[in-house]
Amino acid sequence: METEGVLMGDYTLQCMGGGETVDDHFALKCGNGHNGLLRAIYNKKQIEMRPYGGMFKFLDWLPTDTILKTESAPITFRNRKISKELGLKNLYIGFTGYYPERNAKVKSCTFKEMEALPTYARLIENGGGTVVVASAGNTARAFAQIAAEVGMDCIVVVPKLSADDILVAAESVHVKLFTVDGDYADATQMANRITSFEGYIPEGGASNIARRDGMGTVMLDGAISAGRIPDRYFQAVGSGTGGISAWEASLRLLDDGRYGDRLPKLELAQNAPFTPMAKAWNAGRREITAEDLGNADKDISNVYAHVLTNRRPPYSVAGGVFDAMTACGGGFHEISNDEARSAEKLWISMENVKPDPAASVAFAALIKATEYGKISPDECVFLNMTGGGLDRTKEDLSLAAMGVTSELSMGMTDTELRKCIDV
Ligand SMILES: *Cc1c(COP(=O)(O)O)cnc(C)c1O
pLDDT (tens digit, 9 = 90+) per residue, 260-294? 999 999 999 999 999 999 999 999 999 999 999 99
Q: Is 208 in the pocket of ligand 1 (CB under 6 A)?
A: no
Q: Kindly report, residue by residue over 294-326, the tens digit of the pLDDT.
A: 999 899 999 999 999 999 999 999 999 999 999
- b/e string for 25-41 if b means 16 or more Cβ within 10 A? bbeebbeeebebbbbbe
Per-residue pLDDT averaged across 333-343, rounded?
98
The answer to whether position 262 is within a domain reads yes
Predicted confidence (pLDDT) at residue 12 exceeds the cutoff of 70 = yes
Q: State the CATH number of the domain containing residue 332.
A: 3.40.50.1100
Of 136, 191, 142, 135, the C-alpha closest to 165 is 136
Residue having the nearest C-alpha atom to atom 5 of ligand 1: 237
Residue to mutate, 307, 332, 347, 390, ligand 1, most ligand atoms under 8 Å from C-beta: 307
DSSP 28: S
Is 242 inside any structural domain? yes
Name residue 399's amino acid. L
Residues 6+ apart with CB under 8 A from 226: 76, 90, 92, 380, 382
In angstroms, what is the span from residue 411 Cα to ligand 1's centroid? 33
| Ligand 1 binding pocket includes 370 (Cβ within 6 Å) | no
Task: Report how many domains make up the chain.
Answer: 1
pLDDT value at position 211?
Answer: 97
Q: In angstroms, rounded to a whole number, what is the distance separating the alpha carbons of residues 67 and 64? A: 8
pLDDT at 214 over 60: yes
| 401 inside domain | no
For 233-273, the DSSP string reads EEEE-SS-HHHHHHHHHHHHHHHHSSS-SSPPEEEEEEETT
The residue whose CA is least distant from atom 1 of ligand 1 is 307
Ligand 1 and 238: CB distance under 6 A: yes
Whether 79 maps to a domain, the answer reads yes
Mean pLDDT of the chain: 93
Q: Please write the tens of the pLDDT for every residue from 382-415.
A: 999 999 999 999 888 888 778 889 999 999 999 9
- Domain assignment present for 235: yes
What is the position in ligand 1's atom list of the atom closest to the CA of 244?
7
Confidence of residue 4 (pLDDT cuts 50, 70, 90): very low
Contact 385, 355 (CB under 8 A): yes
For ligand 1, atom 7, name the residue with the nearest CA: 242
Q: Mean pLDDT over residues 242-262, rounded?
A: 98
Q: How confident is the model at residue 5 (pLDDT cuts 50, 70, 90)?
A: very low
Q: How many CB atoms lie within 10 A of CB 151?
A: 10
Are 277 and 270 contacting, i.e. CB atoms less than 8 angstroms apart?
Answer: yes
The alpha carbon torsion through 159, 160, 166, 167 (nearest 10 deg) reads 180
In a domain, 265, yes or no: yes
Q: What is the pLDDT of residues 138-157, one digit of tens each?
A: 999 999 999 999 999 999 99
Q: 342 lies in which domain range? A: 75-108+211-393
**Residue 366 is inside which H or E element, if any?**
helix 357-371
Peptide bond between residue 273 and the one before it cis (omega within 30 degrees of 0): yes
211 lines ligand 1 (CB under 6 A): no
Give the mean model confidence (pLDDT) for residues 7-18: 84
Residue 236 CB less than 6 A away from ligand 1: yes
Q: Whose CA is nearest to atom 3 of ligand 1?
A: 237
Q: How confident is the model at residue 8 (pLDDT cuts 50, 70, 90)?
A: very low
Which residues are within 8 A (CB) of 422 and not within 5 positions of it... i.e. 6 or more apart? none
Instruction: Pick the atom of ligand 1 nearest to 240's CA.
Output: 9
Ligand 1 contact via 387 beta carbon (within 6 Å)? yes
Task: Kindly list the distances between the CA atom of residue 392 and the CA atoms of 104, 198, 342, 349, 414, in Å, as whole numbers in the listed order.
Answer: 11, 39, 21, 16, 42
The answer to the question of residue 63 being in a domain is no
Domain contains 406: no
240 C-beta closer than 6 A to ligand 1: yes
**What is the pLDDT, as a whole number, of residue 401?**
77
